[in-house]
Amino acid sequence: MAIAQSTAPLNPNGTPMPAKDAELVKNGSSSLKAKIDTSLLTETLATSLKEVPKPEDLVFGQVMTDHMLILSYAPESGWSAPEIKPYGPLSLDPSSSCFQYCPNVFEGMKAYIGPDGKPRLFRPELNMVRMEKSAERVALPPFDTTALLKLIKRLVAVDARWIPRSKGCSLYIRPTIIGTRAALGVAASNHALLYVIMSPTGPYFRTPSGISLLGVNEHVRSWPGGTGGYKLGLNYAPCFHPQRLAAEKGYQQVLWLIGENVTEAGAMNFFVVVKRDDGDLDIVTPPLDGTILPGVTRASVLSLLSAHPTQTSLPNLSNKTRLYTHERPITMTELAAWSAAGRLLECFVVGTAVVVTPVSRIGWQDRDIVLPEHKAVMGPVTAALYERLVDIQEGRVEWQGWSATCV
């Protein structure tokens, strides 16, 4: 007698799905397929651990920790059981979508050691929201961000010995999702690989007096209606050639312009500090118009500036000085005019990797806009933001629950 074979969809662990869940899969429910079951996590720990570099020897992204997190997606079964295993190569079909059409998304996060000795993350929920939106923009499969964050925290705990203890150093975390559909047809990838790798890091720039920027509009990083507002791998490769040209002219980074309008500096958000007629300060940054990545550090800087001095006092800034934040277009003509009038006090860039970094000069139309020199390298606003952000990130200052422990 023939035995009837079940045709019910299977869970990622191979067991039959409950009837209700199976019906959702049959009907194409994205909410079920987005599920990541953290209870199925397996851990295979490395038998031989690498030597952790000294903080002074750290170069951004050069050395990876002992372990990685990985899981895969298939349309018929959803996300597989997640696994933490020793860091190592991936095995991918040469025709995978990630190689052919670039449906590749990543995030940048950091872990720190707090005063209590526990690892902690800085506003990770914002990274998860942005990663979800970026994946949607290139039609990658959906995923449960709450579950992913839980897994990331576990990975950080496993490799906590890699988190540098020196101030200003951290463990950089790179969650990544790539399309792995093995076919050359031009279509969205219905298969994906999600993995997380980590690397200890010190200061991104080691330029004491600040970085130099070259204003460029013959090449653009992003454009209205494009993908500049999403953290996609495809946004970065076209920037490498203009960056090389800027370096040949003696500048460290490109200040991306659309016409005369400033967008980003390298892969960082850009800010200027302008003296007002009444002696207070305007802090201006370009708006999130779709051409600019909505940076976590950018949002945090704006929040801290708006809170001074009514909700908090930024370090070494007078409570009598009012800071007015503006998200509006900035033109190079404005920058040059502010500089000529002695009103351009500071320029700085912000991002996960760089935190808050001063700008020393900006090249435009064959001349430099030179920023005022400061006794303490950073201008007072730049220095205040850097100190306060690092103190919050490392758990020395509590502020609005921005820094949360991993355990």
Please report which residue ranges of 34-144 form alpha helices under DSSP H: 97-100, 124-137
Compute the average pLDDT of residues 363-386. Answer: 92
Report the pLDDT value the prediction gives residue 296, as an integer from 0 to 100: 97
Q: Which two tokens stand for residue 299?
A: 């949002």
The 8-class DSSP code of residue 214 comes to E
| Domain finish residue from 201, 228, 260 | 201
Q: Is the pTM of this model over 0.85?
A: yes
192 part of a folded domain:
yes
Is the per-residue pLDDT at 4 higher than 80? no
Q: Which two tokens stand for residue 374?
A: 């400061």
Q: Which two tokens stand for residue 216?
A: 């460029």
**Mean pLDDT score of the chain, rounded to an integer?**
91
Report the pLDDT value the prediction gives residue 204, as an integer from 0 to 100: 78
239 part of a folded domain:
yes
Is the per-residue pLDDT at 39 higher than 70? yes
Compute the average pLDDT of residues 108-121. Answer: 95
Q: Which two tokens stand for residue 155?
A: 């990975």
**Cis amide prior to 309 (ω within 30 degrees):** yes
Report the pLDDT value the prediction gives residue 203, as an integer from 0 to 100: 80
Report the pLDDT value the prediction gives residue 276, as an integer from 0 to 100: 97
Tens-digit pLDDT profile for residues 22-37: 443 344 445 666 999 9
| Domain finish residue from 146, 176, 201 | 201
> β-strands 323-327, 281-285: how paired?
parallel
> What CA–CA distance (Å, rounded) separates 17 from 14?
9
The candidate with the shortest Cα–Cα distance to 164, out of 110, 108, 85, 88, is: 110
> What CA–CA distance (Å, rounded) separates 191 from 180?
5
Q: Are residues 229 and 346 in the same domain?
A: yes
Is the per-residue pLDDT at 71 higher than 60? yes
Beta-carbon contacts of residue 145 (< 8 Å; ≥ 6 apart): 125, 128, 129, 131, 132
236 part of a folded domain:
yes
Count CB neighbours of 195 within 10 A: 19
DSSP assignment of 218-273:
SS-S--TTSSTTS-BGGGTHHHHHHHHHHHHTT-SEEEEEETTEEEEETTEEEEEE
> What CA–CA distance (Å, rounded) separates 127 from 110?
10
Q: Tell me phi and psi for residue 346, to 5 degrees.
A: -150, 150
CATH classification at residue 123? 3.30.470.10
CATH classification at residue 216? 3.20.10.10
Q: Are residues 183 and 219 in the same domain?
A: no
Q: Are residues 124 and 249 in the same domain?
A: no
Compute the average pLDDT of residues 153-159. Answer: 98
Q: Are residues 84 and 180 in the same domain?
A: yes
Report the pLDDT value the prediction gives residue 377, as an integer from 0 to 100: 79
Domain that holds residue 60: 34-45+53-201
Q: Are residues 289 and 176 in the same domain?
A: no
Report whether 270 contacts 264 (CB < 8 A). Answer: yes
Structural domains of the chain, count: 2
160 part of a folded domain:
yes
Is the per-residue pLDDT at 2 higher than 60? no
The candidate with the shortest Cα–Cα distance to 111, out of 51, 177, 199, 50, is: 199
Q: Are residues 378 and 245 in the same domain?
A: yes
Report the pLDDT value the prediction gives residue 6, as an integer from 0 to 100: 43
Q: Which two tokens stand for residue 298?
A: 């950018």
Count CB neighbours of 62 within 10 A: 11
Report whether 306 contacts 300 (CB < 8 A). Answer: no
Q: Tell me phi and psi for residue 14, to 5 degrees.
A: 95, -5
> β-strands 170-179, 109-113: how paired?
antiparallel
The candidate with the shortest Cα–Cα distance to 76, out of 40, 39, 37, 22, is: 22
Count CB neighbours of 80 within 10 A: 19
Q: Are residues 320 and 358 in the same domain?
A: yes
Tens-digit pLDDT profile for residues 290-310: 999 999 999 999 999 999 999
Report the pLDDT value the prediction gives residue 374, as an integer from 0 to 100: 80
Q: Are residues 252 and 368 in the same domain?
A: yes
Mapped onto helix, strand or coil, the DSSP state of residue 338 is helix
405 part of a folded domain:
no
Q: How many residues does the chain have?
A: 407
Q: Are residues 347 and 311 in the same domain?
A: yes
Compute the average pLDDT of residues 1-14. Answer: 44
> What CA–CA distance (Å, rounded) separates 263 from 286?
6
Is the per-residue pLDDT at 15 higher than 60? no
> What CA–CA distance (Å, rounded) separates 191 from 141?
7
Q: Are residues 316 and 243 in the same domain?
A: yes
Q: Tell me phi and psi for residue 281, to 5 degrees.
A: -125, 135
User: Residue 305 to residues 289, 293, 297: CA-CA distances in angstroms?
Assistant: 21, 19, 12
Burial class (CB in 10 A: 0-12, 13-18, 19+), 356: buried
Q: Which two tokens stand for residue 245?
A: 């040209």
Report the pLDDT value the prediction gives residue 406, as an integer from 0 to 100: 85
Report the pLDDT value the prediction gives residue 10, as an integer from 0 to 100: 47
Q: Are residues 57 and 129 in the same domain?
A: yes
Burial class (CB in 10 A: 0-12, 13-18, 19+), 18: exposed
Q: Are residues 339 and 380 in the same domain?
A: yes
Mapped onto helix, strand or coil, the DSSP state of residue 282 is strand
pLDDT band at 56 (very low <50, low <70, confident <90, very high): confident
17 part of a folded domain:
no
The candidate with the shortest Cα–Cα distance to 385, out of 370, 371, 397, is: 397
Beta-carbon contacts of residue 112 (< 8 Å; ≥ 6 apart): 119, 120, 121, 122, 163, 170, 171, 393, 394, 395, 403
